[in-house]
Chain A
Amino acid sequence: MHVALLLGLVFFSILAILLRDLLKAAICLAVASIVLAVVLFRMNAPYVGVFEISVVAGLITVLFISTIALTRGEEDVKESKTPVVIFPIFFVIFVIVDFVIMGRLLGKIGALPGAREMGSFGHVLWNQRTFDLVGQIGVIFAGVFAVLALFRKRNNHE
């Protein structure tokens, strides 16, 4: 089941990259996000799963679709066909190399100590990672002011 979900995630990501219609590509990206959220739920990460569905599959898809609607019309970008033709060869070689390298690395990487965590998610988020939240607020404000600055600059020119 887990492997099927991961394969579905890769499949929809490939569709999002290779489809020529941008609207279909954005929708495939949203479906990939939903599949990823199911994977996260299965790995005991419900909070990130909820974030993934609401923010990435919801908000980012809305942003993408509104941008596509705002920029559509004049002309389609002429993509060369070479990337699509080469893709299967690239993909097969990459997957083989990937599994060989990952197989060798298995057991050699000691990422994060394995001590069992205590407490709840709220305790960890609010008490142990408090400065992450400060950083998040800073990043959100930076994004908001960047978008405001970009659109205000355009109005000044007119």
Chain B
Amino acid sequence: MNELWFLNMAFVAILVGLGIYCLLTMKNLIKLLIGIEVIAKGITLALIATGFGKNNPLVAQSLAISFIVVEVSVVATALAIIINIYRHTKSLDIRKLTKLRG
């Protein structure tokens, strides 16, 4: 059981690392949101894998469902912000947001 948990956590770290790499290197706003989504997938896997490995599947499931609801809310708000930014700057390039500097 511990071996499977270790394996799952190693893949969780890979997913979170991929998402952070995307956040650090990409310039497209929608790509950045995709990076956040990849991190969120890793977190969901971590919650369920820990619940499965430590014999607490029910609490882990309810926590994961809460997390998915938060994730959807974040994505909806972020996409609305992205559409507003696109209407203002006519671009999805994050570098063009530097003119918002005060």
Contacts and interface: CB of A to CB of B under 8 A. Distances in A.
Interface residues of A, number: 82
A128 interface: yes
Contacts of B11: 6, 9-10
Interface of A: 2-3, 6, 9-10, 13-14, 16-17, 22, 25-26, 29, 32-33, 36, 39-40, 43-45, 47-48, 51-52, 55-56, 59-60, 63-64, 67-68, 70-71, 74-75, 77-80, 82-83, 87, 90-91, 94-95, 98-99, 101-103, 106-107, 111-117, 119-121, 124-125, 128-129, 132, 135-136, 139-140, 142-143, 146-147, 150-151, 153-154
Given A44-B52, A87-B21, A79 B26 contact: yes
A71 B31 contact: no
Interface of B: 2, 4, 6-11, 13-15, 17-19, 21-22, 25-28, 30-31, 33-35, 37-38, 41, 44-45, 48-52, 54-66, 68-77, 79-84, 86-87, 90-93
A22 B86 CA distance: 15
